[in-house]
Chain A
Amino acid sequence: MSEERTTMSGFEPTPTPETAPFWDATSRGELAVQFCTACARYYFYPRPQCPNCGSVHVEWRATTGRARLVSYVINYRPLPPFDPRTPLIVALVELAEGPRMMTNIVGVAPDPDHLPLDLELSVTFVAQGAVQLPVFEPAAAAA
């Protein structure tokens, strides 16, 4: 299924100077987020100052790529440039390191019976134009 997605039409993000390290990491097959050395917390989305304490003493760190399913919808009406015939699992996940992000769940049927909340997930990557998008699949499937 994840292979199928790589050929699908989609929306390609444009990195900015502040977010480029994130996208550079995904192109290496790594999910990296920022870590604040002042308050010792990870955060997402990329920005030069920590949203928890305001410090600029932040660094990029690779994550384990493990996450859990917090919430989701199964979008039966994707709009262009997405394929309108292919339901998309639009999901909110929480990384083992703490931050949450929007993503897709792949490698599983778009069926609520297969998508219990708190499902253990692991990251994988799909190409979207010039960038590699981090998406997630059930951890059992990845093992």
Chain B
Amino acid sequence: MHGGQVAIVGAAETDTIGKRPDISVLGLHAEAARNALRDAGMSIHDVDGIATAGLYPQDISHYLGITPRWLDGTLVGGCSFMLHVRHAAAAIAAGAADVVLITHGESGRSGIGADPWVRNPASINGQFELPYGAQAPYSTFTVPALRFLHDRNMTREHLAHVAVAQRNWAANNPRAARREPLTVDAVLNAPMVAYPFTRDMCCVVTDGGGALVVTSAERAADLPSAGRAVYLLGSGESAEGAVVSQMADPGSFAAFRAAGAEAFATAGITHADVDHLMAYDAFAHLPLYMLEDLGFVGRGESGDFVAAGNTVKGGRLPMNTNGGGLSYTHSGMYGMFAIQEAVRQLRGEAVEQLPDARISFVQGVGMFFAAAGSLVLAREPR
């Protein structure tokens, strides 16, 4: 399933992202799916596998007119799509599917056709976190951050540097939700959402969708889109707690370490081989955790690494080149958009195109600090 046996042959987002009061959640899935199939040069009749998160996969396949012989409804939060790619690769390698369509759509801003937000007061979360106001992502996902910073002699300015670095990538991207220039002082002085996080350290809230078409490298070679195929070299997935408070170490996420290590090992690459990093940033602390937990930098080095410009244009490790969840878009489950940007970079089709992106590492996170998924994608099979 790894080493380039499986390829992403279709990848697309919805026509527009941001504000989409004109279309429902289901419609966003379908629009993205049509765009990805067109991108692949395929039709609904080629697809025999369906994967999605949030909605039931059978609802998507039926809506589109697809008869699946393989379904995956894995829902572990925003990194579900990383797991779908990994699961699809395993299914394709095992002969359980030939062409898998993975869809995402969410009306995070407009709420058109969205399920109501129901909270179960008898769940672990409902009994032991929600009663304390650990409800919205900004007051839950963010709770461990002060400990992370404190134990590393890092400050809120390091969070601000993450926001500034990513705004630089978004500035020229017409699809990005936030594009106006940003400074560290401006980030620190922006309205406080949940101390230590100000508005610009928190992701945007948008509508949008994306989809991927995954098949064998063998089949990819016969498609009109053959020259634009992106190959899966390695992957990993893991999970830790059901609730944020139960992380074994609030300053490090075990699932980043486990999923990331497996992705590197299965890909057979080292950190020096990585040209591009997508680090799922619902909030500004997450890329810092990921840089350390994935081993790109040592413990306590992530903040200065970003502040020194290593992740911006011309830097050693360009990161979140679409602007990320902080500036580009964040529909709710952003992982699909992180994969889309990695595919664009490897195809040479990104707005802020890197000169020679051959290998991209995509790190996702789900349900706050609960689950993680990692992909190593490449321009060429190994």
Contacts and interface: CB of A to CB of B under 8 A. Distances in A.
A106 B135 CA distance: 18
Nearest to B195: A74
22 contacts: A11-B126, A12-B131, A13-B121, A13-B130, A44-B246, A70-B250, A71-B147, A71-B250, A73-B145, A73-B146, A74-B194, A74-B195, A76-B193, A76-B194, A76-B195, A78-B133, A88-B139, A102-B134, A102-B244, A103-B132, A117-B150, A133-B132
B221 to A, nearest CB: 48
Interface stretch (A14-22, A34-42, A57-65): A14-22
Contacts of B142: 73
B245 A15 contact: no
Interface string A59-102: 00000000000111111111100100000101110000000111
Contacts of A14: 121-122, 126-127
B131 A71 contact: no
A109 to B, nearest CB: 12
Top 7 closest pairs, chain A to chain B, by CB:
A71-B147, A75-B139, A74-B195, A13-B127, A14-B122, A102-B245, A88-B133
B196 to A, nearest CB: 7
B143 A73 contact: yes
Report, as a range, how many residues of chain B touch the other chain: 35 or more
A45 B195 contact: no
Interface of B: 119, 121-122, 124, 126-136, 138-140, 142-148, 150, 192-197, 243-246, 250
Given A11-B121, A45-B246, A117-B150, A102 B139 contact: no
Contacts of A117: 146-147, 150
A58 B146 CA distance: 33
